[in-house]
Amino acid sequence: MEEIKSLTDKLKDNPAGLIHELVATTNKAMAPKYQRWQRYRRKLRNEWYINNQWSQRPLYSTNYLRSKVETVKAYISQQLPVPEVKGQERNDDIAAEVKNNVLQWALRMAKWEKKARELAHEAEVCGIAWIKPRLDPDAFNGQGIVVYDVIPSENVKVDPKATEPGNARWIIQHIPDVSVEEIEAFYGKKVIGSDKEDTKNDNRPDEQKASTPGQTCDVYEAYIRDYSMETAEEPVEQETEQGVVQVLAKVKRRKYPNWRMIVVAGNTVLADKPVDRLPLKPYWPTDETGNMYPPSIVEMAEPLQDLADAIDEQIYRNIRMTVKRQRIVSSATGLTRNMITDAAGEVYMVSGDIDKAMKWDEPTLLGQEIFAYRKEIEERISIVTGIFSVAQGKPEFNIQTYSTVAALQDASTSTIKMRLKLLAETAAEVAQETLALIKENFGPYREIKIAGEGVYRIIDEYPAELQEATEEEKRAWMEQNGVDLVLSDIDELHDIVVQAENALPADRSARAQVSLKLMETPAEDGLPVITRKALLDALDYPKASELIREIEELKNQQTMQQQQEMLMQQQLMNQPGIDGGLQV
């Protein structure tokens, strides 16, 4: 019996061939889902037509699918999760603030808020969305910055048997239509045997799929699970006559890192190296155990959208027949059907009785129950998706009681809160990857300018003589040498905190008003509800920690001055001859 080859063995024999085999396997298994996603996108863009797209009008009269997706994006935009860096120690506020300012700068440069909305849009269409932080060395005038790519879901080929990325044997990013000049400039290799993927499941607009001058090819950035073993020496306990001692023993263990990145274009392997983390970060708008692709809002609402449009089509046809009724013309009148037009004021000469010469058809009008059912479909779409558009105290359909409107607002709020929590988890992973890329690529020395903060000077490592120094000694050296951040101090796994349930408004002016009222409101102990530091943090005030420290120093100086004045007053009171002092 022939031995079954593992992925690791096939990678050794023909890595490019294996990548193309895995892509073909995934495309075959996912073809029905890819086609549905393509249909959803075309419907959202109003590119879905009744018959021929060149001669027919778009299918939808009212596009509820896009309305629901845009409503979710609008709700999420009001309170978008933003990652922050927090100090791991209580005395680490200053260092954490510097790291956080650098992270916020990187998020702004990568347009996190815009990309988060794109991520939400993709997830509401396909049930899953992927975002990839990467370093663009040519951006920012050639200095390089971290950028975010939101990848269409069908361009991420995941092991079809996987229920989550953690147990996938392979995850492959398909990058279509990359010019051979760009590939050669980035990887330093020429492509041999270009192999274009079939475009029948291509989700892009038609104009982007047209052939253009210049040779392009598809690039596959594959992450393959590496199951290779290695022999290493590890300490083990062994009993001897002297007792239990630790000795070094050779043991077999899994290699780490256990992902292998292989970049392929045609039959050419452009890159092949081990990586310790997966840069592709998934986002799901809902949780569903054991299902990599849970149903999206568009998938749930599409049957009702189709039903609403079918009724709209019948209403349209009925009204059209009523306005432009059919005519029955007698052949004995001297008229033909083509002689009769819709023009006003026309005079027709007929022979005999006019009632016998021409007859108009009387189409049956649709009953009111059809229109009532059409209205009910709108309500069912909102109930199925859990998204209710409530503006100025009025819902999207005709319900006026306060309790019902409030219930609809609560339902939408709960649905969006769940999405915000799930998006916060993805935001934390994106921030970790962003800090990791900064840590790896911003050394050995770099200066970045941050609005409202000035220039930050960044180095990658402390000098050799400070490797064993204390935190106080390192901080003193940084202040002495004008260094704001040492990249080796970044702990991307433990520094990140993301809040998805902040009760303050997203708008800064509205947040300022709420914070000021809380600071002016006394609590049970007579102190304000929030402190000055909490107020500045809520406002994202520049250099808040330094400002608080200056205020504390001024308070300490005032306290010391008051104590000195009281001491001098007591000394004067105790001098002889002073009223209230000692008398001889």
In this predicted model, what pLDDT tens digit does every residue of 308-319 receive, in sequence order?
Answer: 888 888 888 777
Which whole number is the average pLDDT over 478-496? 84
pLDDT computed for residue 394 by the predictor: 46
404 pLDDT more than 50: no
Cα torsion for 423, 425, 428, 430, to the nearest 10°?
A: -60
Q: Which range has the top average pLDDT, 6-10, 97-101, 219-223, 543-547?
A: 219-223
18 pLDDT more than 70: yes
110 pLDDT more than 90: yes
Q: Which residue has the higher pLDDT, 323 or 442?
A: 442
Which whole number is the average pLDDT over 148-160? 95
Which whole number is the average pLDDT over 293-321? 86
Confidence grade of residue 111 (pLDDT, cut at 50, 70, 90): very high
504 pLDDT more than 60: no
Confidence grade of residue 158 (pLDDT, cut at 50, 70, 90): very high
pLDDT computed for residue 393 by the predictor: 42
* Residue % of the chain over a pLDDT of 90: 22
Which whole number is the average pLDDT over 90-107? 79
Which whole number is the average pLDDT over 61-90? 82
Tell me which of 70-74, 402-406, 412-416 is least confident.
Answer: 402-406
Q: Which of 41, 34, 32, 37 is nearest to 63 (CA)?
A: 41
Please check whether residue 77 is in contact with residue 117, taking contact to mean a CB–CB distance below 8 angstroms: yes
Which whole number is the average pLDDT over 166-195? 87
pLDDT computed for residue 406 by the predictor: 43
Which whole number is the average pLDDT over 127-132? 96
87 pLDDT more than 80: no
Q: Which residue has the higher pLDDT, 343 or 109?
A: 109
pLDDT computed for residue 361 by the predictor: 66
Task: Determine the Cα–Cα distance for residues 399 and 396; give it in Å rounded to an integer.
Answer: 8
> Cα 210 to the chain's mean position, in Å?
29
93 pLDDT more than 80: no
Q: Which range has the top average pLDDT, 60-74, 172-186, 223-237?
A: 172-186
Tell me which of 134-143, 164-173, 350-359 is least confident.
Answer: 350-359
Which whole number is the average pLDDT over 554-569? 83
Asked if the bond preceding 444 is cis, omega within 30° of 0, the reply is yes
Please check whether residue 431 is in contact with residue 498, taking contact to mean a CB–CB distance below 8 angstroms: yes
Q: Which of 489, 492, 488, 490 is nearest to 432 (CA)?
A: 492
Q: Which residues contact 402 (CB under 8 A, 6 or more apart)?
A: none
Q: At what angle do helices 402-441 and 93-109 cross, to 10 degrees?
A: 100
pLDDT computed for residue 14 by the predictor: 87
Domain map (residue ranges) of the chain: 7-198+212-292, 327-360, 505-570
Cα R_g (the chain), whole angstroms: 35
286 pLDDT more than 70: yes
Tell me which of 85-99, 154-168, 172-186, 268-282 is least confident.
Answer: 85-99
pLDDT computed for residue 122 by the predictor: 95
pLDDT computed for residue 278 by the predictor: 92
Q: Which residue has the tokens 């999206």?
A: 296
Q: Which residue has the higher pLDDT, 194 or 493?
A: 493
Tell me which of 263-272, 415-424, 486-495 is least confident.
Answer: 486-495
Confidence grade of residue 403 (pLDDT, cut at 50, 70, 90): very low
395 pLDDT more than 60: no
Q: Which residue has the higher pLDDT, 388 or 173?
A: 173
Q: Which residue has the higher pLDDT, 117 or 492?
A: 117
Tell me which of 33-47, 345-359, 459-473 is least confident.
Answer: 345-359
Give the mean pLDDT of the chain.
79
pLDDT computed for residue 503 by the predictor: 43
Which whole number is the average pLDDT over 541-557? 77
Looking at the DSSP bridge assignments, the partners of residue 454 are: 450
- In three-state secondary structure terms, 559 is helix
pLDDT computed for residue 246 by the predictor: 79
- In three-state secondary structure terms, 315 is helix
Q: Which of 524, 504, 513, 18 is nearest to 224 (CA)?
A: 18
391 pLDDT more than 60: no
Tell me which of 112-116, 176-180, 264-268, 501-505 is least confident.
Answer: 501-505
Which whole number is the average pLDDT over 6-22? 85
Token pair of 201, please?
A: 């499941």
pLDDT computed for residue 57 by the predictor: 57
Interstrand relation of 454-459 and 485-486 (parallel, antiparallel or unpaired): parallel
With vertex at residue 218, the alpha carbon angle to CA 213 and CA 219, rounded to the nearest 5 degrees, is 130
